[in-house]
Amino acid sequence: MTEPTQDRRKERVDRGIKVRTDGVYAIASWREMAYLLAPRLTLIIGLLGLPIFLTAFPYWQKVVSIIGIYALLAVSFDFLAHYVGLVSLGGALYIGVGAYTSAYLNTWLGLPPLLAIPMATVLGGIICTLLMWPCLPLRGVYFAIVSLMFPLLAARLIEALDILGGTDGVLGVDGLPNRWLEQYVLLGCLLLLLFGLRRLVNEDIGLVLRGVKDNDQAVKASGINITTFKALAVFIASCLGCLGGATLAHIYMWAGISQFALDFSIIPIAATVVGGGGTLVGPVLGCLILVPISELLRDFGTLRIAVYAVILTAFIVFKSEGLMAYATRKYNQFERWVNI
């Protein structure tokens, strides 16, 4: 960055539409409508088009599903961390619970995958919330540690007690009818939940949740039971994760303890840092970058983790706002030099 001369400074100016209306969009022309729609349409068309663009590369098409699952987890992490103030390192718990629930619904009750997945989403969300309930009064690093423990505990319990299929996992889970359905179920849900959550955090309930993050004592003083609201937030977040987990079980046609692996807890956090925390869309963008990198580096084995660590460190040190926050700013504002 070059140091500007003594008597000038760089000014940031909001682009036209925001200046005139300040948030309430009075849309006056096609140009302004396009300005507002362009980023949203890019996301929707980009995500929905991804499987089609990759038709020629079946392997990468498979990766799209993995991206979708990680993106769901990352969005749920971002929601919990930046709108409720609960840093949950237990993304793997949601995946694991979702996967096992859906697998059992499918193998025991014989429900078809398309019915088992939504049921596992809600059921898994309830199970995760009940598990997390005792630690909801905890804050900050204490909640983070406890939530990190859960998936590890679950995996070891299943292994040691040889319950839920033990180390073999649950075999014979039905796959989804075809690959297109599998990807569009994931991507469609992802988009719906993304826009839904964006709406939710600006509703009354979202305001309360953000209040809990900023100052929970003030929220308590306003006569609101914060544990209920935290539980609700955890339920929403774990539903997102369980949806990913349930789909994963049907993609692999198997549920096992590797679905409690640490990867599911760590990569979403990395994606959130890269994409920009608190933007909800940022983590999806982060997953679109990080998951393919992770696939490309598969041949290098454990060096993968090293590359990850370098990327993560670089982002935290040099661009801690994240890509999405940076892009949003550039899109909404322009800069010019002005004399002081």
Partner 1 sequence: MFEARGLMVFYENMLALNNVSLSCGEGQIVGVFGANSAGKSTLMYTLAGIMLDIQKKEAMAGGERITIRGALSFLGRDVMQLKPAKRAEAGIVLCPERRRIFPESSVMENLRIGGYLAKPKEATETLDYVMTIFPALVKLENRLGGFLSGGEQQMLAIGRALMAQPRLLLLDEPLLGLSPAIQYWLAKSILDIRNQRGTSIIVAEQYARPIMPIIDYGYILENGSAVVEGTKEELLDNPDVKAAYFGTN
Residues at the site binding partner 1, with contacts judged by CB under 8 A: 6, 9-13, 319-322, 325-326, 329, 340
Least distance between partner 1 and beta carbon 278 (Å): 11
Q: How far is CA 109 from CA 9, 173, 176, 197, 320, in A?
A: 67, 11, 16, 32, 47
Q: Which residues contact 254 (CB under 8 A, 6 or more apart)?
A: 103, 169, 170, 171, 173
For 230, other C-beta atoms within 10 Å of its C-beta total 26
Closest to partner 1 by CB, 10 vs 298, is: 10
Instruction: List the structure tokens of 332.
Output: 């909404």
Closest to partner 1 by CB, 77 vs 315, is: 315
Least distance between partner 1 and beta carbon 5 (Å): 11
- With beta carbons less than 8 A apart as the criterion, state whether 250 and 176 touch: yes
Closest to partner 1 by CB, 40 vs 329, is: 329
Least distance between partner 1 and beta carbon 94 (Å): 28
For strand 333-339 and strand 8-14, is the pairing parallel, antiparallel, or unpaired? antiparallel
Least distance between partner 1 and beta carbon 276 (Å): 8
Closest to partner 1 by CB, 203 vs 335, is: 335
Least distance between partner 1 and beta carbon 11 (Å): 6
Closest to partner 1 by CB, 56 vs 340, is: 340
Least distance between partner 1 and beta carbon 19 (Å): 12
Q: Running DSSP on this structure, what letter comes out for residue 170?
A: B
Q: What are the residue ranges of helices labelled H in the chain?
A: 16-21, 30-53, 58-79, 91-107, 113-132, 140-161, 179-200, 204-214, 216-221, 226-252, 263-275, 281-296, 303-318, 323-332
- With beta carbons less than 8 A apart as the criterion, state whether 96 and 154 touch: yes
Closest to partner 1 by CB, 163 vs 340, is: 340
- How far is the C-alpha of 266 from the C-alpha of 74, rounded, in Å? 9
DSSP, residue by residue, 245-280? HHHHHHHHT-B-GGGG-THHHHHHHHHHHHH-TTSS
Least distance between partner 1 and beta carbon 158 (Å): 41
Closest to partner 1 by CB, 12 vs 40, is: 12
Least distance between partner 1 and beta carbon 318 (Å): 8
Q: Running DSSP on this structure, what letter comes out for residue 337?
A: E
- How far is the C-alpha of 242 from the C-alpha of 248, rounded, in Å? 9
Closest to partner 1 by CB, 12 vs 15, is: 12
